[in-house]
Amino acid sequence: MFQGRAIATMLVPDPRGDGWAVAVPLLQAAFQKTKRRVVPQYRDGDCEVRRIWDAAAAQVMGVSPERIGAWRALLNAEPILRRN
């Protein structure tokens, strides 16, 4: 269910911040490492490509890979995403 208040707590890299010069190469490296790989639907469960992307995102956002992994697990289990 959409909750407008949740938007205020979303973690999004700030392109105006000093860390952007570090963030872009991290995200580009993750993309380069996975750009030729197939990414299954969330409903098909966890995959290495998403773990690579999430590890880069965790570094950029300053959160633990475990926290992002927990979010990924929630998406994998989301009934709406699991429909065929």
What's the pLDDT tens digit per position in 38-68?
Answer: 998 877 878 999 999 999 999 888 889 898 8
> Which residues fall within 8 angstroms of residue 78, CB to CB, at 6 or more apart?
42
Which alpha helices (DSSP H) does 1-84 contain, by range? 20-34, 48-61, 65-77, 79-82
**Which residues, other chains included, contact 68 with Cβ-Cβ below 8 Å and sequence gap of 6+?**
54, 55, 57, 58
Domain boundaries, the chain: 42-84
Are the CB atoms for 54 and 72 separated by under 8 Å? yes
CA angle 53/25/22 to nearest 5° reads: 105
Q: Which of 15-24, 26-35, 57-66 has the highest mean predicted lDDT (pLDDT)? A: 26-35
